[in-house]
Chains A and B, each alone.
Chain A
Amino acid sequence: MNMVLLILSIILIATFGLSNLIYILISATTTYFAARAKKHKKLAFIGTIILNVGILVFFKFVTYNNFFNLIDSKNILVPLGISYYTFQVLAYLIDVYKGKIKAVTNFKDYLLFVFYFPYLIIGPINRYSDLSKTLYKKKKLEKDNILNGLVRITWGLFKKYVIAARIGLIVTTITSNLDYQGAYVLLALLLYSFELYADFSGGIDIVLGFSKMLGIILPENFDRPYLSRNLKEFWRRWHISLSSWFRDYIYIPLGGSKCGNFRKKINVIITFIVSGLWHGINYFFWGLFHGIIVAFQNKPNDNCKTLKIILNFILVSLLWIFFIYPNSITAFKMLITIFYKFNYLELFTNILNLGLDIPNLIVLIITLIILVISDIKNEKIKNILYNNKDEVKLIFICSMILIVLLLGVYGLGFNTSDFIYSKF
């Protein structure tokens, strides 16, 4: 079964272009042998890190961001999932080098760890110590796993195609016309918060659900992030696998919190700047602002919890400005309009010209309420779905399929098949 999974993953990666296979194979091979090196261990370790980080930097900055205008990048395609597998193999290599885990001795097993297809599109970034617990287990299709996996997949499809893609129509209308300012920008930002969350976590649900069907447990990437009381908490609950990767392999090597209060704050800011730059040059200020705010925040308490959650949500939303406009200068310009252009009445009267008619707006409002409730009552809903009779799960799966088919935004004329975070 594992061999089948590996071959299927290889075929799927190759369908996106043979070059994808070559780059991922380079990463897998170099880290596998570097981790097993007996002689010149440090040299192999550093050399492999430089090689893999170099490939990532080349594709993300020189080609994808066309950073220095050094080469004509139009014909160069960024390898599929390069960030995810590079972070994954680097974490593995560093953990082996530090003695936290033992090097894998079976190359085929290691290839499966790197090539396992589902995570390459959108994550999560897996740690070998976690993934290996279930990845190599003898697999047999079990009814419970299949049903629970399908519940998760259909819920992810609902979030992606019914909520995120529908919001995307409004956000795109607003952000593609810079005459939409003030209240429009604020609306776009608040909606984008939901769009990004529904799109990204929906994608993760699909990946985790598919893995669950095979009996493979991948780490959760979200823990109801918009219920966070401040940014510090938000980053423990949003894109958890990436945040923890930056914590373990950037923040802590920089000294973490063990080197004085001032240095700790600097380390936090540097870590967030690196995280911003990983998203792209245009996200530098996004990383910087997050870093500064997080550096000066403490662990939140429960006083005025709801108010804190709302304020934090607004803050996070405002900072997404760098995600919805093509460059930082435009982002700043449009952000400022929120604070001096009070065109809320105009927005209200013009709401039907932003890409959705009345039935679609009603669907959007209802589904957003469902999304919020599903986060607030997360445990209760999980209990109902996962600990109930199989019939309940089957009804949920069938209902979700019909709802997605009918109310989803997809098909001809809509470019909604890609996930927002797959470009990173």
Chain B
Amino acid sequence: MMSSRTSEKIAFLFLFLATLLIVVPVGLIIVIIIQKGWPAISWEFVSDIPRQGMRAGGIFPAIVGTIYIVLGSIIFALPIGLLAAIYLSEYAKNNYLNRMIKLAIVNLAGVPSVVYGLFGLAIFVIFFKFGASILSGSLTLAIMILPIIITTSREALESVPYSFREVSYSIGASKWQTIRHIVLPNAIPGILTGTILGLGRAAGETAPILFTVAAFYLPQLPKSLFDQAMALPYHLYVISTQVPNVDEKVRYGTALVLLFLVLFMNLVAIIIRYQFRKKKKW
């Protein structure tokens, strides 16, 4: 029989090693990308168009394209996702059909992203004739991140204490007034968490934009919603596999910029969330 001290030590060791096993690769990825990519970073790299078959110059159009596509997808996904979440958590009765719908939405988050890409190609590019465009790409990404936004928003709404709603009704507020003035303000931090997760996912995906928006090489900025655009993840894929003799530092530099962009967007959302959390005091 092991003494409780020994078993405590062994348990601690395994738990600690498991955590280390996760932290080390993540840390290594960041270190390697910074180490190999940093030499490529310059003002020219982030502000110029690609030159010499994407072996020199900058990645400006891809940065702009990614920002457009990600913002576009959030503009579509956040309002629709939030409204659906409000319906599901506040209005939908707890019956078999609604439980199935909730389960289906959770599971949609696990569908491989290339499937969303094909769906976007069939629906937006071909059926609605939007062509390969920022509109098609944004809509496709929006559909991909909707399950994440709906699920996290629903959890945020449901975590608002029941007693707040009860009081609000007892004062004579209608259901919508209660949601609008009491439930929603208290759920905003959680809703923003979902948005952050959605942002990160939309910015980093390659497959959904492959058929719907991403341009192989387009040395100019998109002028309308119906233009194609370059995007960082796809550009990274292209210069890593499709174009020979691209300098390693250009590839890692592109990865670094993508990483930084996602980090920056998350940071903005985290700051907004922090501002709201400061106000929430229960």
Partners in one complex: no
Residues of B within 8 A of A (CB): none
